[in-house]
Structure 1
């Protein structure tokens, strides 16, 4: 049974994500529960019809069909330790950032050490490319390479952000002299050929030190550094949410996902833990079922992403791909509640609840000896929920039309707690700098550094400075700041160095990079 979004406002945002396709369990990206979608009754999944005698069963029948552990809801939910941590941006950091512009908030997440790491790996990759004479023709543009530095790398990333804000048909059009395309912003940051050379050479790992069967080697070190900063600067609140995001990619890649019903049918999957209005706290890239089958099961994904946040009395929100009775039990052992939608075909589900025939607006629930509640509710379609925090109680709510109706409290809690991932994905899509490429690691790096990190920095800005700022204005400010970075006056050699001297320095650097190979030949 597909999920939809119970909340009407959330349903509008996710409408184009809904699909009637049914993929395999690893390829299916479950959606939120949609209750206000206009669907015909023929599409509603009806449970097995009960006989008259079955319809009149009392809740005690739970004991007869599903064993003694399931019974009518008693409200005996487990009592966990209270959540007492102070959530939000680190206090000491807030005092420093209160006077900063958006670039200062972005630099708190993507600091100079990360840029220097990218510079080192880019220069290393360029050296490896140039020393391999078989891959370099005499007139190749790579022969014009000279080592980059942190100032140039910042301007490079600032230009990539700018290109997401201002869209032109081709990359070269940003340096075009035609009146229709002419702009001075890109040319003031760096020449076109240098930008294209950096775009070709930018790297995030040493290709010659690739561990066997590590598909994420080209990116994992960078992801670890950025995620560490995400987790250091902010403490999540009581409610956290896990879901997956999809990065469109049509190149050849073994861990690429195919989703027939989606707008972008070929994607790379990223598991995300979000909190606080869309702040991304942790990330795990899906590397494929065959290479890491044990770590990519739904329960393992949740436990790994949430490991730093367990044992604190928090509440985890998941959709029906992750939610199961075994996950709820594991989280309870770690002092964490679980609320989520549930698939009807899970083995541990009580049949009396999943197969109960209901009229619109009715709900039916069962509770086991650990206080875990599984509830079936019928609105426009059947909805199956699991909660370790709620019983079967309902609350009256008013919709946009002014109509009053009853909804289970677990449904309301799910709708409220599920929004961070959706908000993160929605804000990230605005002015995204992602472009078509055959290099998957570059696309994922730009997604993490120039989308996820910027959204996180924007949320920090709003919390610390108590100012509303659009994602467009925040991106513009960061792009301006990065593109205006220049080395100190004593290091501004490139602006006055004659071309001949610069070429001599480049040739000397290439000669030094080839010296070890020549020495080994002499020996």
Structure 2
């Protein structure tokens, strides 16, 4: 049997049976792997008639037990799981900054009525945002429309449309004053482009890493958050369903799709290694000191490179991924366009295995995990020598088989997010990220719920019912898990305080007429002599058109510029 041409003799390794957790030989450090010290450069490709040696792999030794880090015998409601990511301190920070932003806008001359936002009312706002992901309408206003074809009674029972819109307009994640100081640093190294989202960004990311530890198979991929805003770090990706948007690099668990680590891509930075964005992204996501060793990382050709795989191996992390090209690979005995379906070629360079497989087109893989061929087959529909299409089994490399099996984690996470997407139209980029962080929190909460149910031999809530339950708990504080002391009652409307009375601008109805705010909202400029003594806005108060009543029933907080 022909052997790979090499000037150095490879160490002989003995293959032993292994379980999915315990691999090959115990107590083997990645730095002690003999192949990491071999610089072999084969001069030709080998085929499946050439036996590959079984790679010697480090033990899988995670820093924490894989899976949920919660108490397995405890019962958690959907709201309690959600509050692991949107903690009480996180919510209080958003509420405080939103109120500060509203006060700032009022001082700047924006004419609208603002009642301070509370923690309880913010939860109600989030409940409506999630509800809008479950029940789709063309616009936000349709949820409060009085037309018979809409008539959504649920949003009206939570808060008025005007209040919902007012919270959306003034929503702010960072301190407005600190934000102004940061904006003064534009063009300098001290400027932080992500300052507006930093408080929520860091809190959600920390919670994702804290409450779950990945299983052995993990993956890295990009995620696009759709936007039409004009901002410097918006990106275009042709191979994604969402072409234009903000790019996030994500490290996820392959088995369940849990988002364990992520970061927002800002473009090239001064800290770039010069080895490519793919290399830098993986090394930033792979915190091996927190994860442990023996993890198997899967990725596509944007990230895969021999340099990356060797550097990962030095930290005890194994990797497998598709490869665009490798100029250092041999040319002899290579695949051609006429190669038979299922043809396999392979070669080794040190600890790295390179495999070519002919399917509809040539597939090139690189791996520090696998043996070249273990006898696996896959069913394909192919034309025979007689010109008839038949289903037959063809050989498939283990690298391709495992890549197909484990590379769906981010797609699973994306599908869970997109199915009930809560992203709303906004020109403010930081609000787009607020909605996406909400999505991450909900999906990760669902996965934790499923993991706990599995550990307790219970049937978990399916996705839709989980969201419905979460919405109900967020909207009704009395049924939620949050301590009552941390929730204050929603502010009473002006009509309930009995401080709003109709008054004349002048001494009678013939003096001091102003444009009615309700009529102005509807596109009409109707002047009225009457205004609200508390709200300080002009409102019609006649038998045919009672804008005074309508304003206070809807508690309208439109911007009046």
TM range (shorter): 0.7 to 0.9
Q: Which residue is equivalent to 1:179?
A: 148
1:498 equivalenced with 2:476 (yes/no): no
After TM superposition, the structure 1 = structure 2 runs for residues 309-388 of structure 1, keeping only pairs within 5 Å, are 309-344=290-325, 346=326, 349-352=328-331, 356-357=335-336, 358-369=339-350, 371-388=351-368
Q: Which residue is equivalent to 1:36?
A: none
* Cα distance in 2, alignment partners of residues 319 and 354 from structure 1: 25
Cα deviation, 1:139-160, whole Å, max 9, x if unaligned, reads x33xx01211111111001101
Q: 1:60 to 1:225 in 2, by over 3 A?
A: same
Q: Which residue is equivalent to 1:69?
A: 41
Cα deviation, 1:473-501, whole Å, max 9, x if unaligned, reads 21111111111126769954734860529
Conservation of the 8 A alpha-carbon contact between 1:353 and 1:374: no
1:472 equivalenced with 2:460 (yes/no): no
Query: How far apart are residue 273 of structure 1 and its match?
Result: 0.6
Higher relative contact order (CA 8 A, sep 6+): 1
1:105 equivalenced with 2:105 (yes/no): no
Cα deviation, 1:229-273, whole Å, max 9, x if unaligned, reads 111111111111000111111111111112356554322111111
Q: Which residue is equivalent to 2:528?
A: none
After TM superposition, the structure 1 = structure 2 runs for residues 42-81 of structure 1, keeping only pairs within 5 Å, are 60=4, 68-70=40-42, 74-75=52-53, 77-81=55-59
* Cα distance in 2, alignment partners of residues 227 and 262 from structure 1: 24
Q: 1:457 to 1:505 in 2, by over 3 A?
A: farther
Q: 1:506 to 1:223 in 2, by over 3 A?
A: farther
Query: How far apart are residue 394 of structure 1 and its match?
Result: 3.5
Conservation of the 8 A alpha-carbon contact between 1:354 and 1:376: no
Query: How far apart are residue 74 of structure 1 and its match?
Result: 4.2
Q: 1:88 to 1:68 in 2, by over 3 A?
A: closer
Q: Which residue is equivalent to 1:511?
A: none
Query: How far apart are residue 367 of structure 1 and its match?
Result: 0.8
Conservation of the 8 A alpha-carbon contact between 2:70 and 2:211: no
1:281 equivalenced with 2:250 (yes/no): no
Instruction: Please point out which of 216, 233, 236 is paired with 2:194.
Output: 216
Instruction: Please point out which of 411, 414, 418 is paired with 1:422.
Output: 411
Cα deviation, 1:379-422, whole Å, max 9, x if unaligned, reads 11100001101121143345498743321111111112211111
In terms of fraction of residues, the more helix-rich structure is 1
Conservation of the 8 A alpha-carbon contact between 2:121 and 2:490: no
Conservation of the 8 A alpha-carbon contact between 2:123 and 2:474: yes
Conservation of the 8 A alpha-carbon contact between 2:115 and 2:491: no
Q: CA RMSD in A?
A: 3.2
3-state DSSP of counterpart to 2:411: helix
3-state DSSP of counterpart to 1:414: helix
Q: 1:438 to 1:293 in 2, by over 3 A?
A: farther
Query: How far apart are residue 337 of structure 1 and its match?
Result: 0.3
1:441 equivalenced with 2:430 (yes/no): yes
* Cα distance in 2, alignment partners of residues 367 and 118 from structure 1: 54
Q: 1:259 to 1:237 in 2, by over 3 A?
A: closer
Cα deviation, 1:68-103, whole Å, max 9, x if unaligned, reads 4347674263432333552111143x333x2x3322
Q: Which residue is equivalent to 1:244?
A: 222
Moved more, 175-184 or 273-282: 175-184
Query: How far apart are residue 195 of structure 1 and its match?
Result: 0.7
Conservation of the 8 A alpha-carbon contact between 1:393 and 1:408: yes
Gaps of 5+ in 2: 9-38, 382-390, 479-483, 502-531, 537-561
Query: How far apart are residue 164 of structure 1 and its match?
Result: 1.2
Gaps of 5+ in 1: 1-57, 508-523
Point out the structure with max Rg over C-alpha.
2
* Cα distance in 1, alignment partners of residues 272 and 283 from structure 2: 15
Conservation of the 8 A alpha-carbon contact between 1:205 and 1:221: yes
Query: How far apart are residue 169 of structure 1 and its match?
Result: 2.0
Query: How far apart are residue 220 of structure 1 and its match?
Result: 2.5
Conservation of the 8 A alpha-carbon contact between 2:258 and 2:444: yes
1:460 equivalenced with 2:436 (yes/no): no
3-state DSSP of counterpart to 2:221: strand
* Cα distance in 2, alignment partners of residues 222 and 213 from structure 1: 18
> How many residue pairs end up in the alignment?
436
Conservation of the 8 A alpha-carbon contact between 1:81 and 1:313: yes
1:481 equivalenced with 2:473 (yes/no): yes
3-state DSSP of counterpart to 1:339: strand
* Cα distance in 2, alignment partners of residues 121 and 422 from structure 1: 34
Q: Which residue is equivalent to 1:89?
A: 68
Cα deviation, 1:284-328, whole Å, max 9, x if unaligned, reads 111123677559721111111111555421111111000100110
Instruction: Please point out which of 122, 125, 130 is paired with 1:153.
Output: 122
1:271 equivalenced with 2:249 (yes/no): yes
